[in-house]
A and B are shown apart, each in its own frame.
Chain A
């Protein structure tokens, strides 16, 4: 008897106060004939490796159907010191997930006094994507992320991409998601085969290739924003953690890319 009481008092490790967002797994009753609800979508995000880690770039546009709703969207968001989540698809859902993961990962580290393993973080993300599937199938709230991380144990950058069911794939060189990613998918392979693998490039080289691809995505996809009005955002992760790539560098490279069209 005494033993079973003690057993009940031992907290299971997964007993966390941070519970996944309440919309997860929910289906909505959409009346027939009702016009579909439009949520705001982020468009194109790209992750590529470079010698010291991983770079994320993304345009700044957020759209709802054929309307441009926002031109200062941030689509690559730090979750913790070594994890970046680049988001595409439903902006609202993605923001909810980012907030959830931030608290979930930090809660784990602070309460357990050790960081959550990369494997643990990846499966937590799978879980929230899979649980969002019912509503994504109804046409609202679907989002696809790319998770970039620096593996402190292996001293290397890592890139993981997902499908709508939460399946996770590790990419050796690059990842892209969002409406403009379809048009540029093959280009990554072309670069790797004809130039060199991204993980052997310097920061400047890899950043330049990523920005050229973002430019092509903006040319070929109606929803992806170009940089005529506003520069894209870029972040990097290396052994020292996450840092913004300064505007100055982005301005120089984008101007240089513009001159290719002249």
Chain B
């Protein structure tokens, strides 16, 4: 059988649909820089989702659990080998994503004999000051992009766009508490958009409006906090400890944002 350019396009498009359909269920992840550090926030149903990669690198992803794990272990391996043989100062998110993680993902996506990776990942890199922080978004096909101040991954492009729109006037000169509240509100917008889209598809109705009201969003978030587990991974800019990374405990979260939200 002759393999024509048409077959290639067809195959790629099928793979894209297959992956994006699977990703669409994913709970969004929000990354924010702020004065005293950098955080990733998500709400999860089961497994832990936010991980430490290296001294100043944090990672989370939506997608297939084994692909998330493969990228996590691969990133940890590369960073530690390089940091040990050269210097921890040489480990950056851009090097890691651009030279080590993106090429194999691209190769896997183009390899029609194998299942593509189902993943959309976010890496955060903490610098000395917020303007030296970086976020890298890595896609299932190897594409990646760099952002500063804030970044998101979500199950659909529409959800990501809405989330980025909300964050467009975010300033990194804020406290941990403010950053957590901003990230929670942003998460709710992304998750609500995803859930609305699924409902629309299921009911087979034409989407009439995409407006999300504040009250609807608050109610959605309150419900989500009851049924899902809030997870916040922090890289602490001010700590003297050897490890900059830690997962916030629910006591810490309550202390930071007070009683504004029903954190279990």
Residues of chain A touching chain B, judged by Cβ–Cβ distance below 8 Å, are 17-18, 78-81, 99-100, 102-103, 106-107, 110-111, 113, 241-244
Contact = CB atoms under 8 A, between A and B. Distances in A.
B247 to A, nearest CB: 11
Interface of B: 48, 51-55, 73, 76-77, 80-81, 83-84, 240-243
A17 B80 contact: yes
A17 B53 contact: no
A242 B84 contact: no
A18 B84 contact: yes
A129 to B, nearest CB: 19
Contacts of A100: 84
Contact of A17 (B48, B81, B240): B81
23 contacts: A17-B77, A17-B80, A18-B80, A18-B81, A18-B84, A79-B242, A80-B242, A80-B243, A81-B242, A102-B242, A103-B80, A103-B83, A103-B84, A106-B243, A110-B54, A110-B76, A111-B73, A111-B76, A111-B77, A113-B51, A242-B242, A243-B240, A244-B240
Nearest to A115: B243
B86 to A, nearest CB: 11
Contact of A110 (B51, B84, B241): B51
A110 B242 contact: no
B236 to A, nearest CB: 12
> By CB atoms of chain A within 10 A, which of B53, B76, B81, B242 has the most?
B242
Given A18-B81, A78-B242, A107-B76, 14 more contacts: A79-B242, A80-B243, A81-B241, A81-B243, A100-B84, A102-B242, A103-B80, A106-B55, A106-B243, A107-B80, A110-B54, A111-B77, A113-B51, A243-B240
A17 B77 CA distance: 6
A78 B239 CA distance: 14
Given A18-B84, A99-B84, A110 B52 contact: yes
